[in-house]
């Protein structure tokens, strides 16, 4: 399964397959594959500005959201609601930014990000309570909550948080003191990227070196064994993982508001929460690998605009390439499992769920 983290055979073949398939899609659309790939590279890694102000900036919310998915999935919680948790986190950060003028500048920014984390955790807590109290599948509840969050955000920017003139469905721009500082002068790369990488390293350390991380991993790998043999409170562990996952997703939204858009408006997220599922799965739910996959998807997102602008290729082609990449990785992983050595006769095969530690 994807969670085992073993190397897949034929990785170059996977990449080549994605490139060929994407080139075919481009050719069917009537554009030149060579010019499209050149534009994609130029818009993502072709210059320092493209890398710092495009790829890494777009990778930041994907990194936070990908960590949220990876953490939940490793605990056996299928949190599909990262998009909604990101949106309410963005709304909370913007609300603090436009309302709390009495705090000192540094505290305002900290309060905004803290509010984003709390809002994301509370949004996840709704699905966690439904799962624990009524047995509602979190796949359904979190997905439905995404739509609730989307319409709630629309209500806010057209009502309580709308800018004073009432013309535009958005908040006023955040004051400079409410914005994350740029870490490299001349670029748009902000402190949020450093925070996201720090979170990835911190989660990896918790997974590998703490009892809490061990309880989380065994709860996701085999809840029955964790409860009986390990005496782990599986319900409490998975609920805690659910809340932390929601907090990370909320911070993704808060960082996007305070580091990139500087205002809250409809469609503030181009689907970061959904792309984060692919980011986490491609990384096989490993926190440090999420950094690399987030940068990869950030590059694809950044290069999509250049493809559309310079080569006349629809940006949706990048979405096709992303989907093909995930499908090919899953297919290769499945082929490895089915073609591997069988257990000897008489031995009882113990399945390893996705998200289990290597």
pLDDT value, residue 51: 93
Spatial separation of the C-alpha atoms in residues 169 and 140, rounded to whole Å? 30
Residue 234 lies in a domain: yes
Residue 270 lies in a domain: yes
Average pLDDT in the 5-14 region? 48
Question: Any residues with CB less than 8 A from the CB of 270 and at least 6 apart, and which?
Answer: 301
On average, the pLDDT of the chain sits at: 85
Per-residue pLDDT reduced to its tens digit, 230-265 = 789 999 999 999 999 999 999 999 999 999 999 999
Query: How many domains are contained in the chain?
Result: 1
CA 226 centroid distance within chain: 28
Residue 350 lies in a domain: no
Q: Which domain holds residue 101?
A: 2-6+61-291
Residue 204 lies in a domain: yes
Residue 188 lies in a domain: yes
Count the Cβ atoms, other than its own, within 10 Å of residue 233: 14
Structure confidence at residue 43 as a pLDDT band (50, 70, 90): confident
Say how many residues make up the chain. 358
Residue 341 lies in a domain: no
pLDDT exceeds cutoff 70 at 49 = yes
pLDDT value, residue 354: 43
Per-residue pLDDT reduced to its tens digit, 162-194 = 999 989 999 999 988 889 999 999 999 999 999
Per-residue pLDDT reduced to its tens digit, 135-162 = 999 999 999 999 999 999 999 999 999 9
pLDDT exceeds cutoff 80 at 4 = no
Structure confidence at residue 8 as a pLDDT band (50, 70, 90): very low
Question: Any residues with CB less than 8 A from the CB of 138 and at least 6 apart, and which?
Answer: 77, 78, 79, 80, 81, 127, 128, 130, 131, 242
pLDDT value, residue 12: 58
Question: Any residues with CB less than 8 A from the CB of 70 and at least 6 apart, and which?
Answer: 203, 280, 283, 285, 286, 287, 290
pLDDT value, residue 23: 63
pLDDT value, residue 18: 58
Q: Between 11 and 298, where is the model more confident? A: 298
pLDDT exceeds cutoff 70 at 273 = yes
pLDDT exceeds cutoff 70 at 294 = yes
In a 13 Å sphere around the CA of 246, the CA atoms on its Cβ side amount to: 27
Spatial separation of the C-alpha atoms in residues 2 and 36, rounded to whole Å? 31
pLDDT exceeds cutoff 80 at 290 = yes
Residue 18 lies in a domain: no
Residue 14 lies in a domain: no
Average pLDDT in the 74-88 region? 96
């Amino acid at each position: 399964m994807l969670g085992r983290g073993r190397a897949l055979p034929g990785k170059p073949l996977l990449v080549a397959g994605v490139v060929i398939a994407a080139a075919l899609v481009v050719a069917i659309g009537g554009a030149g594959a060579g010019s499209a790939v050149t534009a994609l590279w130029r818009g993502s890694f072709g210059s320092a500005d493209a890398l710092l102000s495009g790829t890494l900036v777009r990778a930041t919310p994907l990194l936070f959201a990908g960590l949220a998915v990876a953490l939940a999935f490793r605990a056996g919680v299928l949190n599909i609601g990262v998009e909604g948790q990101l949106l309410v986190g963005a709304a909370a950060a913007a609300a603090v930014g436009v309302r709390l003028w009495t705090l000192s500048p540094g505290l305002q920014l900290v309060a905004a990000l803290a509010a984003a984390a709390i809002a994301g955790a509370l949004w996840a807590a709704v699905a966690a309570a439904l799962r624990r109290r009524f047995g509602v599948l979190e796949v359904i509840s979190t997905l439905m909550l995404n739509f609730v969050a989307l319409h709630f955000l629309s209500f806010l920017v057209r009502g309580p948080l709308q800018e004073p003139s009432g013309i535009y469905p958005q908040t006023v721009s955040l004051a400079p003191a409410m914005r994350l500082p740029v870490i490299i002068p001349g670029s748009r790369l902000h402190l949020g990227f450093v925070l996201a990488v720090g979170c990835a390293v911190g989660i990896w350390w918790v997974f590998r070196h703490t009892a809490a991380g061990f309880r989380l991993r065994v709860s996701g790998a085999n809840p029955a064994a964790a409860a009986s043999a390990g005496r782990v409170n599986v319900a409490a562990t998975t609920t805690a993982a659910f809340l932390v996952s929601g907090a990370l997703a909320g911070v993704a939204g808060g960082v996007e508001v305070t580091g990139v858009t500087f205002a809250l408006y409809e469609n503030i997220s181009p689907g970061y929460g959904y792309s984060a599922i692919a980011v986490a799965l491609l990384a096989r739910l490993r926190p440090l690998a999420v950094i690399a996959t987030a940068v990869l998807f950030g590059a694809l997102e950044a290069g999509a605009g250049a493809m559309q602008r310079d080569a006349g290729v629809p940006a949706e082609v990048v979405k096709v390439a992303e989907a093909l990449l995930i499908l090919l990785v899953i297919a290769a992983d499945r082929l490895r499992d089915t073609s591997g050595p069988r257990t000897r006769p008489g031995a009882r095969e113990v399945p390893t769920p996705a998200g289990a530690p290597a």
